[in-house]
């Protein structure tokens, strides 16, 4: 596994939009303010050609142009790291135009984004043996008062911090809107982490995963090299991190059935689940917890749920492809990366 160089003080951050761009509110103003804040911290910035575009369907531009921007900026020596402008809906259509062999041959750069960006963060590790960061997109850094999770993301990108813990509270309803684009996270809910087994849980292995909505689309395609990846790193075992956006509890159960029966979980050491966007919903007696635990019970490995991963902020930086040690006890979760 290849680990990129960390962002140095006064380094340059490149921005790309392989999914949504920052063309409309509240994302435009939030992006502008993020640039202002990063400049004040001493960083240089560079915007890719699609960062302020909304010419595509579910993405910033055509799939071909989104891939062209990503490939150009990934290999652009001006950029020390890359940050995505946002999630989206159809980045899967960009994937066929990304040259993952070229990514593998290029000098690696940290790429950070989440949600639809799974289509790159996951495949970067699986197809190009290059670690990536499942973390906040650019507009989040435009909030006037940064949440500690944003400092954590920047501290990881700068190589100052490799161990992270869950946060005390989280947001179920955002205050960010067109008239209030710089709102901070509305963290009204207390941390509520749950586990499939009692007592202290320790899981070590190689971290892999992303947004379940995106991952389930990859099964059976020519980009599905997950079994080969898991076999290559069989001795490490995998820590799967997963979270869902549009999938309701029944859809989550279906998607987990898909991944499990495609052989993706054969070397799983354990599972980390973020809070679902359908938090609190129940259908046919299936809720956000038993949709997961019933599906994975036969694997005999621990499952930790409602973690700070994904769509209901805040979110810890999750390093796709990295070795990690995790621990959960008495409501506290920690993850520590070993980049070697």
Question: Can you tell me the mean pLDDT for 235-253?
Answer: 97
Q: What is the mean pLDDT of residues 160-170?
A: 98
* DSSP H or E segment with residue 202: strand 201-211
Tracing tokens 């005390």 back to the chain, one arrives at 168
Average pLDDT over residues 280-306: 96
Question: Whose CA is closest to 207, among 223, 191, 227, 230?
Answer: 230
pTM above 0.85, yes or no: yes
Confidence class for position 142, pLDDT limits 50, 70, 90: very high
CA 79 – CA 75 distance, rounded (Å): 8
DSSP 309-328: -SSSS----EEET-EEEEEE
- Domains for the chain: give ranges and CATH numbers: 12-161 (3.40.50.10740), 169-338 (3.50.30.60)
Is residue 81 within 8 A of residue 132, CB to CB? The reply is: no
pLDDT band, residue 59 (cuts 50/70/90):
very high
What are the DSSP calls for 84-129, one per residue?
ES---S-GGGTGGG--HHHHHHSPP-EEEE-GGGHHHHHHHHHHH-
Q: How far is CA 219 from the centre of its chain?
A: 19
> What CA dihedral angle connects 95, 101, 104 and 108, to 10 degrees?
-60
pLDDT of residue 340: 75
Dig out the tokens for 281 from the structure. Answer: 């919903």
Closest to 270 (Cα-Cα) out of 328, 192, 191, 332? 328
* Residue 148 in this model has a pLDDT that exceeds 90: yes
Judge whether 103 and 72 are in contact, CB under 8 Å: no
Confidence of residue 198 (pLDDT cuts 50, 70, 90): very high
Task: Taking residues 262-281, report their average pLDDT.
Answer: 96
165 three-class SS: strand
**Using an 8 Å Cβ cutoff, are 75 and 47 in contact?**
no
Query: Per-residue confidence at 121, pLDDT binned at 50, 70, 90?
Result: very high
Residue 101 has pLDDT above 90, yes or no: yes
As a whole number, the mean pLDDT across the chain is 97
């Amino acid at each position: 596994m290849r680990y990129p160089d960390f962002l140095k003080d006064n380094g340059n951050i490149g921005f790309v939009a392989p999914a949504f761009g920052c063309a409309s509110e509240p994302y435009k103003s939030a992006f502008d303010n993020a640039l202002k804040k990063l400049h004040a911290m001493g960083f240089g910035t560079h915007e890719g050609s699609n960062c302020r575009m909304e010419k595509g369907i579910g993405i910033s531009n055509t799939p071909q142009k989104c891939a062209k921007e990503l490939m150009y900026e990934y290999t652009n020596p001006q950029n020390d790291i890359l940050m995505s402008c946002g999630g989206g809906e159809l980045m899967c259509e960009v994937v066929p135009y990304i040259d993952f062999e070229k990514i593998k041959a290029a000098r690696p750069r940290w790429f950070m984004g989440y949600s639809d960006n799974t289509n790159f963060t996951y495949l970067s590790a699986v197809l190009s043996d290059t670690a990536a960061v499942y973390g906040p997109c650019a507009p989040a850094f435009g909030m006037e008062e940064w949440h500690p999770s944003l400092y954590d993301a920047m501290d990881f990108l700068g190589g100052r911090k490799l161990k992270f813990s869950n946060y005390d509270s989280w947001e179920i309803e955002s205050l960010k809107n067109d008239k209030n684009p710089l709102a901070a996270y509305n963290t009204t809910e207390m941390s509520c982490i749950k586990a499939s087994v009692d007592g202290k849980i320790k899981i070590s292995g190689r971290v892999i995963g992303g947004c379940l909505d995106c991952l389930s689309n990859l099964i059976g395609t020519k980009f599905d090299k997950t079994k080969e990846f898991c076999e290559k790193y069989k001795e490490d075992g995998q820590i799967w991190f997963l979270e869902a956006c549009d999938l309701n509890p029944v859809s989550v159960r279906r998607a987990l059935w898909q991944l499990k029966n495609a052989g993706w979980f054969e070397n799983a050491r354990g599972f980390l689940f973020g809070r679902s966007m359908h938090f609190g919903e129940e259908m046919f007696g299936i809720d956000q917890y038993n949709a997961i635990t019933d599906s994975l019970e036969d694997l005999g490995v621990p499952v930790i749920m409602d973690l700070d991963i994904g769509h209901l902020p805040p979110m810890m930086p999750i390093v796709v492809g990295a070795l990690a040690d995790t621990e959960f006890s008495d409501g506290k979760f920690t993850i520590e990366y070993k980049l070697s």
